[in-house]
Amino acid sequence: PILARHIEGCDLMFGSHRDIALLLGRDFPGEGPERRRAAALAAFEHFPRLRYIATTTRHVRDADHNTLSARIDTQDEAVETGEVEITGIVDRIGTGDAFAGGVLAGLPHGLEEAARTGLALAALKHATPGDQSLTTRRELATFHEGGLDVRR
């Protein structure tokens, strides 16, 4: 209830279908993208000011091997990236903040750019100890071009 009152004033939410289920006190049927879309639409209906919901999906293979993808929903569409393989993980702390920073930086350039930049910064952060992302613009551009391996 307290968190829901704060979200009422937001136009961007970082959260998953599980977070929305907790906020709205209900579950969402289906699997994968279908469930995420149903949850997003319910959130947009419940929080009329909300314009964007950004989230990541992580699959843990083992402690130092994960896959990660990003998704941004609006009332009218959903944009989802492909998965990136992340191996040799040094530190997961701060990856959510890196994702948020990338989404915020990319959003003025469109949903696809926001999702791609958020995913890239989150993926690259796994190679840096500590809670801050030290990724440079050059590293980000190289990652987007497919030339930078997340393993460092």
In the chain, what percentage of residues exceed pLDDT 90?
84
Could you give the 3-state DSSP secondary structure of residue 21? Answer: helix
Strand partners, 80: 71
Cβ atoms of 48 and 41 within 8 Å: the answer is no
In a domain, 118, yes or no: yes
Strands 78-80 and 65-73: antiparallel
User: 16 near 36, Cβ under 8 Å?
Assistant: yes
pLDDT, tens digit, 9 for 90 and up, residues 43-92 = 999 999 999 999 999 999 999 999 999 999 999 999 999 999 999 999 99
The answer to whether 128 and 90 are in contact (CB under 8 A) is yes
Q: Is residue 127 domain-resident?
A: yes
Any domain includes 114: yes
Look at residues 100, 22, 24 and name the one whose alpha carbon lies nearest to residue 56.
Answer: 100
Containing structural domain, residue 11: 2-144
Residue 1 has pLDDT above 90, yes or no: no
Q: How far apart are CA 22 and CA 56, in angstroms?
A: 17
Q: What percent of the chain has pLDDT over 70?
A: 96
- The answer to whether 40 touches 62, Cβ cutoff 8 Å, is no
Query: What is the tally of structural domains in the chain?
Result: 1
pLDDT of residue 134: 86
> Domain of 44: which CATH number?
3.40.1190.20
In a domain, 150, yes or no: no
**Residue 58 within any structural domain of the chain:** yes
Instruction: Tell me, yes or no, whether 134 lies in a domain.
Output: yes
What's the token pair of residue 70? Answer: 């990003």
In a domain, 152, yes or no: no
Residue 149 lies in a domain: no
Residue 147's pLDDT band, with cuts at 50, 70 and 90, is low
Phi, psi of 14, deg, nearest 5? -100, 115
Residue 150 pLDDT > 80, yes or no?
Answer: no
Least confident stretch, 27-31, 84-88, 146-150: 146-150
pLDDT of residue 151: 42
